[in-house]
Amino acid sequence: MVNLIIEKTEQYIYDNIDENISIKDICKHLNISSTSLTQYFNKELNITPHRFILSIKILKAKELLIKGDDISEIAQDIGFCDQSHLNRVFKKYEGITPYGYKMKNCEI
């Protein structure tokens, strides 16, 4: 059951990647409490649901960066409020800015 909840959460995030997804949104969609969702994620993945959301958004950002998409458009496309927010989160997770990642991984 826990793995199914994690899979459904991941699918919900991918389906709504362009939105500012909240834990409340996910819980409403899955009809579970935020406490239960947090417990499932901590037990199975050793991360919070919020961190899981951000990790999926960063994975999507990396895909788009490699394709050569514009960083400000990527920020908007994956539900960050602006490019600066994407830059901060991306650097926190990857240790490099989106621009640095793009330069390192693309042939431009």
pLDDT in tens, 2-60: 789 999 999 999 999 988 899 999 999 999 999 999 999 999 999 999 999 999 999 99
Beta strands per DSSP E along 1-108: none
Question: Cα torsion for 75, 81, 83, 84, to the nearest 10°?
Answer: -140
Measuring CA to CA, how many Å separate 48 from each of 18, 35, 38, 51? 20, 11, 6, 5
Q: List domains and CATH numbers for the chain.
A: 2-105 (1.10.10.60)
pLDDT in tens, 83-96: 999 999 999 999 99
The pLDDT value given to residue 7? 93
2 token code pair:
């826990």
